[in-house]
């Protein structure tokens, strides 16, 4: 039997919780440190779209493949979490409609569709009438749409709760309200952690998953960390209505709409370079509401439930970094950008395997530190 090993994980978002749970399942002693509460970063702000195909852009083929692999692992993740915790992720598989609201958008969407066809991705071209047959709430101004049946969604809040419960069930320990100040690294690699209260913890493995705040951690040699910045997203939640305003995820050029089984409709989201400014702006909300209203006019009367703001951890290459660094015992799970919820299974199973056995699964090879 393998000797039990100990790892400290910094960050209680999906990038930290997923591998934490899987390492605990593999017999590791896991201590996860979160400076606030579990999911207090970007992970609980997210809409929950699992959309490798509709997110596909022309220069990001490796990321597309990682997203597709992660989506293939989702049923396994949802089943395993449900079996251990009884928490349902609200995994909806209705597919996504990407709509064009004017002629320019239609041209852009047609180019995207040609790219889908080149790569053999499942996407179907629809004229306005066909799109409205699937989704009667769409604006009569929509003349062109793509249907991507393989793009699904889950409820990120449920997943965070389930991951935390599964981690504890597997023997891991969660330390909430415990900010980490930095790492202690010696000649032989990682030696421990220093907490904000001045105390230290001896540990020979550390996984950094502190989202957009990762660069604030002290003691990490600059050369091993990718450049990371926060990309701000504003989001609005309204009542979905009864009968529901829409059934599918709808992506319009300037906004997306994500219907939840619990009667909420998520409307997002801005992509803004404003550092960690947590104030919602009139312009940000105006942009996403106008974008949503152009696609689904019925949203005009929907009562507002909540607003949110979050900070995506984004690297210069727009790709995550998931793996073990050249410093002994130092591992990274950072830079998940717009796709951290989608990438949760690929990160959880893949990183736990590579830390535990040293064998990097093929889907993570392109994303090593």
Ligand X SMILES: Cc1cc2nc3c(=O)[nH]c(=O)nc-3n(C[C@H](O)[C@H](O)[C@H](O)COP(=O)(O)OP(=O)(O)OC[C@H]3O[C@@H](n4cnc5c(N)ncnc54)[C@H](O)[C@@H]3O)c2cc1C
Cβ of residue 152: shortest distance to ligand X, in angstroms? Answer: 11
Contacting ligand X (CB under 6 A), which of 7, 11, 295, 319? 11
Q: Which of 9, 49, 185, 193 binds ligand X (CB under 6 A)?
A: 49
> String of b and e for 22-53 (b: at least 16 CB within 10 Å)?
bbbbbebbbbbbbbeebbbbbbbbbbbbbbbb
| E strands in the chain | 6-10, 29-33, 49-50, 96-100, 124-127, 144-148, 152-153, 173-175, 180-186, 189-195, 200-202, 206-208, 228-239, 249-252, 255-259, 264-268, 304-315, 321-324, 330-334
* Residue 291 within binding range of ligand X, rule CB under 6 A: no
Q: Sign of the CA dihedral 214, 363, 248, 140?
A: positive
245-274: which residues touch ligand X (CB under 6 A)?
268-269
- Residues 297-336, interacting with ligand X (CB under 6 A): 310, 312-313, 336
CB 213 to ligand X: min, Å: 4
Q: Which is nearer to ligand X, 144 or 238 (CB)?
A: 238
Query: Could you tell me the smallest distance in angstroms from the CB atom of residue 351 to ligand X?
Result: 12
- Interface region with ligand X, contact rule CB under 6 A, candidates 32-40, 116-124, 238-246, 286-294: 32-40
Nearest-angstrom CA–CA distance, 244 and 263: 8
Contact between 10 and ligand X by CB under 6 A: the answer reads yes
Note whether 172 binds ligand X by CB under 6 A.
no
The structure tokens 């949503």 sit at 292
For ligand X, the binding residue among 68, 339, 353, 354 (CB under 6 A) is 339
Hey, CA dihedral for 94, 95, 101, 106, is it positive or negative?
negative
Residues at the site binding ligand X, with contacts judged by CB under 6 A: 10-16, 33-36, 40-43, 45-49, 179-180, 209-211, 213, 217, 233, 235, 268-269, 310, 312-313, 336-342
């Amino acid at each position: 039997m393998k000797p039990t090993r100990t790892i400290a994980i910094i960050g209680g978002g999906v990038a930290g919780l997923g591998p934490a749970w899987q390492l605990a399942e593999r017999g590791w002693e896991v201590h996860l440190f979160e400076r606030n509460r579990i999911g207090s970063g970007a992970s609980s702000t997210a809409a929950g779209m699992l959309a490798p195909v509709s997110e596909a852009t022309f220069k990001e083929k490796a990321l597309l493949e990682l997203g597709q692999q992660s989506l293939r692992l989702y049923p396994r993740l949802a089943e395993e979490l449900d079996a251990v915790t009884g928490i349902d992720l609200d995994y909806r598989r209705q597919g996504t409609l990407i709509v064009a609201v004017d002629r320019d958008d239609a041209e852009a969407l047609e180019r995207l569709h040609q790219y889908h066809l080149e790569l053999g991705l499942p996407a179907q071209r629809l004229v306005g009438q066909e799109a409205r047959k699937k989704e009667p709430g769409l604006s009569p101004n929509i003349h062109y749409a793509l249907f991507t049946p393989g793009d699904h969604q889950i409820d990120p809040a449920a997943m965070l709760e389930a991951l935390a419960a599964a981690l504890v069930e597997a023997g891991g320990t969660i330390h909430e309200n415990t900010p980490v100040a930095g790492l202690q690294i010696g000649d032989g690699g990682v030696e421990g952690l220093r907490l904000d209260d001045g105390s230290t913890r001896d540990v020979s493995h550390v996984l950094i998953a502190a989202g957009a705040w990762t660069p604030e951690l002290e003691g990490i040699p600059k050369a091993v960390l990718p450049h990371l910045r926060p990309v701000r997203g504003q989001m609005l939640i309204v009542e979905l209505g009864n009968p529901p305003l829409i059934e599918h995820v709808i992506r319009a050029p300037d906004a997306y709409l994500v219907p939840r089984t619990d009667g909420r409709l998520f409307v997002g989201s801005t992509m803004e370079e404003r550092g960690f400014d947590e104030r919602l702006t009139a312009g940000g909300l105006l942009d996403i509401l106008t974008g949503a209203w152009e696609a689904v006019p019925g949203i005009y009367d929907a009562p507002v439930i909540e607003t949110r703001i979050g900070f995506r951890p984004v690297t210069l290459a727009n790709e995550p970094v998931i793996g073990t660094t050249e410093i002994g015992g130092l591992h990274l799970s950072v830079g998940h950008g717009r796709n951290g919820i989608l990438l949760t299974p690929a990160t959880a199973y893949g990183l736990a395997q590579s830390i535990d056995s040293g064998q990097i699964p093929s889907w993570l090879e392109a994303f090593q530190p």
